[in-house]
């Protein structure tokens, strides 16, 4: 009898080597909308997995939920079941000057500012994307008609502390409860911008770290969904150009799969 994974319940043979990851379970349907032979593999907690065929290539889309801990659980279980190539499709905050909402960012490596990846390996260990996937994503992104950037991503844990509002006196204030905020938070944002970190999100650092530890091909492409500092919650646009981001990831997966 095949043994199911303890959290997702997925069994051997139910997922292919090629996986698209996203945070939101509802986005799994958007990623798989154009596929053939689709079937639901898993719907447990934040994890929703659909398998199918993308232009004949066996693929799956899987949701990680928000943040590093749930991402690590899913990557562990998918790797044990034979996943070998994983591309994260997500949202991110723009840090670099000149970025606009709706543009694409391909992560080349991450600042690991999360707790999960450091549970696996020393913080000085680099979180680096697979060079073949980065090249394929950039090629597809530049052909998409949207501006597509490559750079270092700040991968962090706390969504509300990272998101700040530029106040009337050019002071940064927090979106957190009771405007909890201190100078250290503002200094960190400014330090990342000074270091030419291009965007920030919450899952790529763990994905890329585990990819290198486990010998997997991993990468991340995100839409810029808000800007830091930004004018307020109304400025977040999680869906703007997400369809193009999904298409770019699909083209990259097909390209790299034919080379393997």
Q: Which residues of 145-180 are buried (b: 16+ CB within 10 A; e: fewer)?
A: ebebbbbbbbbbbeeebbbbbeeeeeebbbbbeeee
Comparison of pLDDT for 259 and 205, the residue scoring more: 205
What percent of the chain stands above pLDDT 90? 78
**Is the confidence at residue 163, as pLDDT, over 70?**
no
Cα separation, 87 vs 109, in Å, equals 14
| Residue-level pLDDT at 6 | 96
Tens of pLDDT along 232-242?
555 677 788 99
Mean pLDDT along residues 181-192:
83
Contact yes or no for 216/79 (Cβ under 8 A): yes
pTM above 0.85, yes or no: yes
**Is the confidence at residue 222, as pLDDT, over 60?**
yes
What percent of the chain stands above pLDDT 70? 91
| Residue-level pLDDT at 195 | 97
Mean pLDDT along residues 175-197:
84
Which alpha helices (H) appear in the chain, and where do they start and end? 27-31, 68-80, 116-120, 131-142, 159-162, 183-194, 204-214, 242-259
Taking all residues of the chain, what is their mean pLDDT, rounded to a whole number?
91
Handedness of CA 90, 151, 214, 14 (dihedral sign): positive
CATH fourth-level superfamily of 18-259? Nucleoside phosphorylase domain (3.40.50.1580)
- Sorted by where each begins, the domain ranges of the chain are 18-259
The whole-angstrom distance between residue 74's C-alpha and the CA centroid of its chain comes to 13
pLDDT band of 258, cuts 50, 70, 90 = confident
Contacts of 257 (CB under 8 A, 6+ apart): 18, 57, 85
**Which residues sit opposite 219 in a β-bridge?**
87
Tens of pLDDT along 79-138?
999 999 999 999 999 999 889 999 999 999 999 999 999 999 999 999 999 999 999 999
């Amino acid at each position: 009898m095949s043994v199911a994974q303890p959290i997702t319940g997925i069994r051997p043979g139910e997922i292919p080597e090629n996986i698209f990851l996203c945070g939101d379970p509802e986005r799994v349907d958007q990623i798989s909308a154009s596929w053939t032979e689709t079937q639901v593999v898993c719907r447990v907690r934040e994890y929703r997995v659909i398998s199918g065929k993308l232009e004949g290539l066996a693929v799956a889309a899987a949701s990680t939920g928000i943040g590093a801990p749930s991402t690590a659980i899913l990557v562990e279980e998918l790797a044990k079941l034979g996943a070998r190539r994983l591309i994260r499709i997500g949202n991110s905050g723009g840090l670099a000057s000149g970025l606009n909402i709706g543009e694409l960012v391909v992560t080349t490596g991450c600042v690991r500012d999360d707790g999960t990846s450091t549970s696996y390996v020393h913080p000085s260990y680099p979180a680096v994307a697979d060079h073949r996937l980065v090249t394929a994503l950039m090629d597809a992104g530049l052909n998409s008609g949207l501006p597509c950037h490559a750079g270092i991503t700040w991968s962090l844990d706390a969504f509300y502390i990272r998101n700040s509002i530029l106040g009337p006196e050019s002071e940064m204030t927090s979106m957190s409860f009771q405007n909890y905020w201190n100078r250290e938070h503002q200094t960190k944002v400014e330090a990342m911008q000074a270091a030419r970190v291009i965007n920030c999100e919450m899952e790529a650092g763990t994905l890329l770290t585990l990819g290198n530890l486990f010998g997997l091909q991993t990468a991340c492409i995100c839409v810029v969904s808000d800007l830091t500092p930004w004018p307020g919650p109304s400025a977040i646009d999680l869906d703007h150009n997400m369809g193009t981001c999904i298409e770019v990831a699909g083209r990259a997966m097909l390209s790299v799969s034919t080379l393997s």
